[in-house]
Structure 1
Amino acid sequence: MAIQELLDPITAAGGEVRFGRFDEWQQGRTLYGGASALIAYTAAIRAFPDLPPLRAGQIAFVAPVDETAELRREIVRQGRNVTQVRSEIWCEGRCTLTAFFLFGAEREANARHEAAPLPDWPGSPGQAEEVMGNQGPAFLQNNFELRRAQDQRGPGDPVVRRWARLKPPTGLDPVSELILLGDVLPPGAMRAMARPGPLSSINWSFNLLGTAPQTSDGWWLSENASQHALAGYSSERLRLWNADGRQVMDGLQSVAIFG
């Protein structure tokens, strides 16, 4: 369980850590964004184990995360229902990731409606074509399975949609699994690029649409859609559904487009 070895050094006390199996989660010079976000979340819930369920997160990818780091976290405000926690990763004396997590107890519902269904549902992942089997960064090949969930290939509408799951066993709770999976696809703007070039996530903000997400056989439908791209940046909407078509996460991301 490579992800557990990455998380095992995180203690309630925080402070200096050296991550295990760090190289298996690298993306270029840094950690894959979902893994670094999960480190910050894990640091928060291990420091403050009596928090209510996670409702939302705002994560800024500031600089490359190193194998040795310092974890800092604090409760910024604790109210009757909502607790807000800041969790940061520092490397060599500078902040490399800062996250703001919102935890909230359940209230009596005064508004209720489901997220709208995806109009062009791709069907079951069971017979879908595998993709990226021997391509992409090592963390993707070693830890994830991806399957096609759209007919489009190559340039076109700036949307990337795939079935995704972690290779079992993971030992993760469902919320941690969604954080790890939420940033797994390349930006939708990739399909609109005039020429090949690197891309880099700058931030990620997400809302969970339930506190106990469930799916079948570990599969989640992931979608990254560029809503606007100009001057080297793309504004992306990131969404996740379970295998039954129920949306479980809604998010936004700013992406830097180089080249």
Structure 2
Amino acid sequence: MTIASLLEPVTGQPGPARLAHAGEWMQGRTLYGGASALLAYTMAVRAFPGLPPLRAGQIAFVAPVGEEFELDAEIVRQGRNVTQVRSEIRSGGKVALTAFWLFGEGREPNALHPAAPPENWPGAPEDNDVVSHSFAPSFIQNNFDLRYGQAKGVDHGATVRRWARLTEAHDLDPVSRLVLMGDVMPPGAMRAMQRVGPISSINWSFNVLDPESRSRDGWYLAENASQHADLGYSSERLRMWDADGRQVLDGIQCVAVFG
């Protein structure tokens, strides 16, 4: 399934939609979180053309999203500079994903504080080894190139960092690409687990730092880091940088840790 065919059923009109070959974007029994988030984001921007650039998103992964679902979107509030939109994916008549999007016009800055470059910069993506996809979920094997973004043989704690890019030549706008790629890494809690068990994202909240990001050759450095894990849940920080070390996305996530 191409990215275009993934988004083709999203017309901007509320109602049912069906994905052909959804299996290529599946993660277990649900669509990969970035893909389902992109469906909800695309629904919002196609339902309401002319929105300002996206500045932030809050997404709740409520239930599995499969081949057949319903889409809906509404403007919650539209001000002079900021428009807030809610979009939902429903499955079997029940909410499977709900998203709250904050769109905002740019203004003359009164505060300037660039994000810090990443610690322990791994070097350019082409200077790092390719990550094998043999044990990765199907959505990774079908849609992403991965390269290592951390030194091997070093204890990185509960942090997973990789260079990632989409394998398909696509015409996604910069924000859609960030939404699709922003949840690509497994939770950092994976490296703190005492025994093998499933993990599942429950939500994802992020800020878009550069809505016009166009990283060299499509590579982005993606990082998931567990800030605290206990009692079956992990609080994760998700960040992305472009190929020149500029941070483009900053987010947090709650992850369920089973087993």
Asked if these proteins are the same fold (TM beyond 0.5), I'd say yes
User: Structure 1's 154 and 22: CA in aligned 2 closer, same or farther, altered over 3 A?
Assistant: farther
Shift of 1:242: 0.2
Distance apart, 1:210 and its partner CA: 1.8
Q: What whole-Å deviation, never above 9, does each CA across 1:9-65 have from its counterpart, x for those lacking one?
A: 110213111113211111111100000000000000000011000000000000001
Q: What whole-Å deviation, never above 9, does each CA across 1:176-230 have from its counterpart, x for those lacking one? A: 1111110001000111110111100000000001220121011000000000000
For 2:178 and 2:153, how far apart are their aligned partners in 1?
26
Give, in whole Å, the separation in 1 of the partners of 2:71 and 2:168.
28
Aligned pairs (5 A) from 1:91-170: 91-152=91-152, 157-170=157-170
User: Do structure 1's residue 192 and structure 2's residue 197 form an aligned pair?
Assistant: no
Tell me the SS of whatever aligns to 2:134: coil
Per-residue deviation, 1:152: 4.3
- TM, length-normalised to structure 2: 0.97
**SS of residue paired to 1:131:** coil
Match in the other structure for 2:27: 27
Aligned residue type for 2:91: C
Distance 1:214 1:137 in 2: 26
Normalising by structure 1, what TM-score?
A: 0.97
Identity %: 63
Structure 1 segments of 4+ aligned residues over 6 angstroms from their partners: none
The answer to whether the 8 A contact 1:155-1:192 is kept is no
Q: Quick one: structure 1 residues 33 and 242, their matched pair in 2 at CA, closer, same or farther if it must change by over 3 Å?
A: same
Q: Determine the structure 2 residue equivalent to 1:49.
A: 49
Partner of 2:71: 71
- 8 A contact 2:160–2:185 mirrored in 1: yes
CA contact (8 A) 1:9 1:20 kept: no
The CA distance in 2 between the partners of 1:211 and 1:185, in whole Å, is 21
| Superposed displacement of residue 117, structure 1 | 1.2
Q: Which moved more, 1:34-43 or 1:112-121?
A: 112-121
Partner Cα separation in structure 2 for residue 10 and residue 244 of structure 1 = 33
Alignment correspondent of 1:216: 216
Give the aligned partner of residue 10 of structure 1: 10
CA contact (8 A) 1:156 1:192 kept: no
The one-letter amino acid of 2:44's match is A
- How far did 1:133 drift? 2.6
Deviations for 1:54-85, whole angstroms, at most 9, x for unmatched residues?
A: 00000000000121111010000000000000
Given that residues 132 and 141 in structure 1 are in contact (C-alpha distance below 8 angstroms), is that contact kept between their aligned partners in structure 2?
no
Counterparts of residues 171-190 of structure 1 (less than 5 Å): 171-190=171-190
On the 8 A contact 2:2/2:168 being kept in 1, the answer is: no
Contact 2:13 2:72 in 1 (8 A): no
Counterpart Cα distance in 1 of 2:230 and 2:153: 22
Q: Does 1:249 align with 2:249?
A: yes
Distance 1:154 1:229, change over 3 A: farther
User: What is the aligned length?
Assistant: 259
Question: Aligned Cα RMSD in Å?
Answer: 1.3
Structure 1's unaligned 5+ residue stretches are none
* Range with bigger deviation, 133-142 or 84-93: 133-142
What 5-or-longer segments of structure 2 have no aligned partner? none
